Structure formats: C-alpha cells, structure tokens
Amino acid sequence: MKRLFGAAKADIEAEARALRIEAARARVLVEESREIVIVLDGELNVLAASRRAREAIDGLADGHPLPTQLLQGSTYEPVLVPYEVNGDRETLVYLREAGELPAYEELRAGFTAAVSHELRTPLARLLALLETASLPGADPLELLEQGRREVEQMRELIDDVLFLSELETGRTTVVLGLHDPEPVLNEVAEELRESADRAGVTLVFDAEPGVEVPLRPRMLRMVVENLAENALRHAGPGTTFALTVGEDGGDVVVTAVDDGVGVDADDLPRLFERFYRSDRARASRGTGLGLAIVKHVVTSAGGSIEASATPGHGLTISCRFHGG
C-alpha cells in the first residue's frame, strides 16, 4: 500500500510539474509576442498581456478592465478568440492597426515574388551550364566552376533573405553595448583583399582611436562587408574605396566613399530598396539586398543613413549613430 501511495504521489508531482512548465511556457509565449496580445477573463479584466501591448496601451495592468474603446471605435482592428479554461470563459485579444494586415500581406507577397525572380536567374544559368556539359567538346572543369559560382550566388541570396527575416522579426539583436570597430575592420579588409584585387579596387579602412560603435560586432561586420562589397561590384577598376569610423558632433559616423562611376540622380532615392539595381548594375552578381541590410541594421540601432553621388565621381554613404 505504501508503494502504491508513493507511486501515486510521484505521478501527481510529475503532473503538477508538467502543468507548471506548460503555464510558464504559455506566459512566455504571450509576454514575448511581437504582436499586441491581451488575455481577458469573463469580466473583460486583463489576465496577461504581451510586452508590446503594455508599451502601446497606457494604463494596461493585470486585474484591471480593458478600455472598451480598444474594442470599439478605435484605430485598432481587434480579433477576439473566446475559449474556456476549466469552465471559466476567457478571451484572447489581438489588436492591430487598421489596414496593417493588408499592407503586410502586400509586402510579403511582393517580397516573395522578388525572391523567386532573383533565384530564377542563377537557376536558369545553372541549367544552361548542365545542358552545355553534355555537348561534344565541352570543358567539364570550366563548366563545373561556372556552376559552382551560380550555386554560390543562390546561397548568398538565401543567406541575405534569412538575415533580413531575422532582423525584421526581432530574433537578431542589433544593439548590445559599445564596441571597438578596429578588429572588425581588420577582419573584413583581410577577407576581401583577394576580391578587391580581382576587381581592381583599393580598400582603405580606418577608425579614429577611442571611437566605439553602438552595434554588436556581427551587425557592424554586416554593415562594413555590404558597403565594401557594393563598391567592389560597382565602383569599377582602378578606384579606391575608403571606409572610416569617426565622431561628428557627438555622433558616431561610419562613412563609405568610393571614387568610381557613381550613381545617377534618378537611382539615388531607391539605392536602399530591396533588389533594386540601376540599369548599369543589372549585370552585377550581387543579391540586391546588401544596402537594404545596411539600412535596416543602422535604423534598427536608432541611426540614420544617407547617400550622395555624382555620376562619374563616386558614391558616398554615411551611417550616423546619434549620441545620447
């Protein structure tokens, strides 16, 4: 009998532990949601709310009623999901800005179409290479090398798309303290030296002593790499690309300057758009996402970015991180 009682007690404790874990997990799911999510009891009192909900709605507190104007006649579009827990009625409330979902769906559909289009080009080239390999007199080693470059192009595109997705969903933290930029600049300069030699572009990296950038090293690396690679693809042979990190009026400024072919005035406003390429850059093997990633990282850190250029006289991109 004692053994049976002990076994039953162990089962109860295990079940209680499982319930506590499930409850904790559910609270984290609500708390960390990037949406405005609120859980209400049968009297419309708040039981739980996501962090974003508490930031967006003044006075929202557990145990207090949810303002009725949020459910009727506000700028939010509520989605109510009623359910029962142990016989008690509760409601899960999602709030979104009016028109937010259609705009998001339009953006998602456009982005998906753009990614599909960008992948189609290297896939078509790869298929053509495979067909050529079966022809008499074909050079298999050369065709394999060309095929490898096409696969690498697709891998870069997928990596960039996934990285942008991480940024936009908040899974990647951009700002985490202040960091010395010099180690990152040295690493990028070393890794891009061979590519720069092939492109005929001279790379110059420099950071003022004592200046620290408010970006995680990985994020700074993404900014520096993409700015440099943009110049390697578009500046042209015999040019110089210089990236400097310094201070200006209390702000930290990362400036990228090349003396290459520049950008037409009509193209300049669209320089940071995803997949946008000027007519002159259509032949580039880049993913078309590099400068979009730079902008997203900089603005996510509370900074600003701007570009200026004159055709035939190079391109300047300034990333400014505003001081406290």
Q: Which pLDDT belongs to residue 299?
A: 85
Are 219 and 263 part of one and the same domain? yes
Count of domains in the chain? 3
Residues 6+ apart with CB under 8 A from 221: 184, 187, 188
Are 304 and 242 part of one and the same domain? yes
Are 245 and 311 part of one and the same domain? yes
List the CATH number of the domain containing 158. 1.10.287.130
Are 89 and 213 part of one and the same domain? no
Are 307 and 196 part of one and the same domain? yes
DSSP state, residue 67: P
Q: Which pLDDT belongs to residue 97?
A: 61
| Last-in-domain residue among 124, 151, 172 | 172
Q: Which pLDDT belongs to residue 256?
A: 94
Are 192 and 310 part of one and the same domain? yes
| Last-in-domain residue among 66, 83, 98 | 98
Are 207 and 254 part of one and the same domain? yes
DSSP-derived secondary structure for 159-174:
HHHHHHHHHHHT-S--
Are 305 and 224 part of one and the same domain? yes
| Last-in-domain residue among 124, 149, 172 | 172
Per-residue pLDDT of the chain (324 residues; tens, 9 = 90+): 545 445 555 666 666 676 677 666 666 666 666 678 888 888 888 888 887 787 777 777 788 887 766 655 456 677 788 877 777 788 888 777 655 455 445 445 545 555 555 566 667 777 777 778 777 887 878 877 877 777 776 776 676 666 666 665 555 566 667 889 999 999 999 989 998 999 999 999 999 999 999 888 888 888 998 899 889 988 889 999 999 999 988 899 999 999 888 887 777 777 877 666 554 444 445 556 778 888 888 888 888 999 887 666 789 999 999 875
Residue pair 97/76 in contact by the 8 Å Cβ criterion: yes
Are 76 and 114 part of one and the same domain? no
List the CATH number of the domain containing 287. 3.30.565.10
Q: Which pLDDT belongs to residue 149?
A: 73
Q: Which pLDDT belongs to residue 145?
A: 80
Q: Which pLDDT belongs to residue 240?
A: 93
Q: Which backbone phi and psi does 94 adopt, to 5 degrees? A: -110, 130
List the CATH number of the domain containing 48. 3.30.450.20
Q: Which pLDDT belongs to residue 4?
A: 47
Are 130 and 49 part of one and the same domain? no
Q: Where are the beta strands (DSSP E) in the chain?
A: 36-40, 46-49, 76-85, 88-97, 201-207, 239-248, 251-258, 304-309, 315-321
* Tally of CB atoms within 10 A around 293: 21
Are 93 and 108 part of one and the same domain? no
Question: Helix, strand, or coil here: 137?
Answer: coil
Residues 222 and 173: their CA atoms lie apart, in Å, by: 13
By residue count, the chain amounts to 324
Query: Which residues constitute the domain of residue 299?
Result: 174-324
Are 107 and 81 part of one and the same domain? no
Asked whether the whole model's pTM tops 0.75, one would answer: no
Residue 197 is encoded by which pair of tokens?
């030699």
Q: Which long-range contacts (CB under 8 A, 24 or more apart) does 188-193 make?
A: 188/221, 188/224, 188/225, 188/228, 192/225, 192/228, 192/229, 192/232
